Structure 1
C-alpha cells in the first residue's frame, strides 16, 4: 500500500506530543517533516519538544523545521500555559545542548512549500497549533494550498464556547489573522476538530490511567509530562464536565482513519477579527449567508473505540525513559 504523505505543523504541547506519537505509530503514514510554530510555548522550546518526542520514539530521522515565532500581525492578546512554561509540563530535567544542530537549516515555511510542490495533491497537512506557518506559506507561494491533498486543523469552535476568551479557542485566538487567511484561502478539502468537538467526545479517566500505566517507554514519557499539568487534573470540571481530552489527537486520528469521525457539519466558516468578546471565534455559516463557495467539514462526533485504539498504539513505541526534575 502506498503510504499517506503527511506534514505535521505543531506548537508542541503535551497533546501535540501525543498526536505526533499517534502519527509515528500509524503504519500507513509517512511523515515528510514536522514544522514548528510558537503557541503552547516559544518556538525554540517547541523545536526541542519535538526532538524529545522523536528521540523517545526512536524516530530521529524525521526532519524538524523551525517556523514562526510570533503571530502574523500583532502580539497574542492572551496568556495561557496549561502545559507549563516549556510546553511539556516543566518536568523534564534538561535540554539537549546540541538541539540547534538537529534542526534543519531550512525555514519551516519554505520546507512546507517545497515538500508539497515535490508531491502535488499527495500531502496531507495536519495543523495542531496557531496557523501562522500556513498563512505565511500561502503568501510565499499562492499555489501551495491548491497543491495540498487535504488539511486537518485542531482549532476554532463551533458553538462560540471558548477556552481562553469568552468565545475563542486557544489556537485561533493566538493568531486570528492567520486563522482567517487559512479558512478563506485554503480551498483544499479541510476538516476541523474544534474545541467543542474534542470536549464533547472526551474519554474517561479510567482509560487515561490505563494509557499512562502501560509501562512502555512512550507511556512512561507521557505519564511524566502529564504528572504536574493542571490540564490533566481529574478535579478540573468545566462546562463540558471532567474527562480526558488529548485535543490534537482528535485531528490526527481523523487524518489516520477518516472513519473515526462519525458525524460532520459541512458548511462555510469565517473567523471573526473584531470585537472584545468574539475576536478569534470561528463562525459556522450554516445558511450560507456569506455566499462562500468553499465548505469545510467540521467534526461533530467520533468513534471512541477507534480513537482509544489509536491512542493505545501511540504509547506502544519508544525506548527512552525521561529524567524527572
Structure 2
C-alpha cells in the first residue's frame, strides 16, 4: 500500500494528432490534467498537411509553456488512396489561418520518426501507456506492421473516429478520420487487441455543448481562451451556419470532437454508456468506403470487442474543457 506522502502515479499518455482546432483543444485538456504525464506527441497528415500539423502542435505547446514535451513527425500520406484534408473547416493551416510570427520553428521536432517513437515508448513502458489517437490512424497502422507486439504493450487505446449509425461528416457514410485512411483504420481495429475505446462522430454530436456555453468559455479573457477563440473563428463560421447545424446529429451546438476521446482517456468516468462489439471498416463500398461497421450480431467472431462510447457525463466534460483554458 502506498504511504500517505507518496504521490499517486500519473497516467502515461502518448497522443497522435493531425492537429486541427479540436486536436489543439484536446492537447490543452491533457496538459491541464494533473493526473496525466504526456510522454510525447506524434503527428500525422490529415486535417492539414503534415508540416502544418507539426507546426500547430509546437504552437500549442508554446502557448501552454510545455515545449519540453517531445514532438515527432510521422506519416504525411494515407497508406493507399488519395489524400483528403479539412481546410474548409479548420483553415488551410489547420488552426484557422491565424498568423503567428512567433511560432516555434520546426527544428524543435525530434529527429526520430513518429512510428519509431511509438515502438520505443511502448517497449520502454510496457502495459503503462494510454495511446490517444485523434487523427487518421496511419502512424498506428504502420507501427503495428513494423512491430506486431505494440498493441499487447499498451494499457489502452482511445480513438476519435468512425461512426456507429452510418452518419458521415465528409461523405454520406464516412467520418473524416477514418475516411482519410480507411486501410489504416481497418488495420488498427483488426490488429490492436488492447482495450480500445472509440468516440464516434455521433457520440461527439450528441454530447455537444450549447453555443451559450461556448460564448462564455471562449470569452474568459485568459491567454488560452483568447488563442482558442482566434483559431475557432474560421470553423465557427461553418459550424454556426444553418446548413451545418442541420447536419449535426440532434441539432445545433459546439462539438469539439477530439476532446471526447481525450476526456475519456483522462477520466473514464466521463463515459456513461457504451456499446461493446466487434468493429471493422468498409474498404470497397461505392458509398460506404471508410464507414465503421458495428458487428452487433457477432458475425465477425472477433475476440477483441471495441468499447464504443454512447453517453457522456456532461458536467465532468465541461469541467475538463474549462480547466484547459485557465
Same fold (TM over 0.5): yes
Name which of 156, 159, 182 aligns with 1:176. Answer: 182
Is the 8 Å Cα contact of residues 269 and 283 (structure 1) preserved in structure 2? yes
Distance in 2 of aligned mates of 1:231 and 1:83? 10
Please state whether the residue corresponding to 2:127 is helix, strand or coil.
Answer: coil
Distance in 2 of aligned mates of 1:227 and 1:78? 18
1:208 matches 2:225: no
Give the structure 2 partner of residue 222 of structure 1: 228
Is the 8 Å Cα contact of residues 81 and 87 (structure 1) preserved in structure 2? no
**1:71-128 C-alpha deviation (Å, 9 max, x unpaired):** 01222367663101100001224464x6121000000010011011000000000000
**1:232-267 C-alpha deviation (Å, 9 max, x unpaired):** 436431242110000000000000000000000000
| 1:40-119 equivalences in 2 (<5 Å) | 40-76=47-83, 81-94=88-101, 96=103, 99-119=105-125
Structure 1 unaligned residues grouped into runs of 5+: 317-325
**1:192-249 C-alpha deviation (Å, 9 max, x unpaired):** 0000000011110111011101111110100111122234436431242110000000
Distance in 1 of aligned mates of 2:98 and 2:43? 21
Distance in 2 of aligned mates of 1:5 and 1:72? 28
Distance in 2 of aligned mates of 1:205 and 1:284? 31
Distance in 1 of aligned mates of 2:221 and 2:188? 40
Distance 1:234 1:77, change over 3 A: closer
> TM-score, length-normalised on structure 1?
0.94
Distance in 1 of aligned mates of 2:282 and 2:162? 11
* Cα RMSD after superposing both structures: 1.3
Name which of 260, 275, 286 aligns with 1:276. Answer: 286
> TM-score, length-normalised on structure 2?
0.94
1:314 matches 2:324: yes
Kindly report structure 1 stretches of 4+ aligned residues shifted beyond 4 Å. 77-80
1:152 matches 2:158: yes
Distance 1:79 1:251, change over 3 A: closer
- Return the offset for 1:188: 0.0
Structure 2 unaligned residues grouped into runs of 5+: 1-7
| 1:117-132 equivalences in 2 (<5 Å) | 117-132=123-138
Aligned residue pairs: how many? Answer: 315
1:22 matches 2:29: yes
Is the 8 Å Cα contact of residues 205 and 234 (structure 1) preserved in structure 2? no
Is the 8 Å Cα contact of residues 80 and 164 (structure 1) preserved in structure 2? no
Give the structure 2 partner of residue 13 of structure 1: 20
| 1:278-317 equivalences in 2 (<5 Å) | 278-316=288-326
Distance in 2 of aligned mates of 1:100 and 1:91? 18
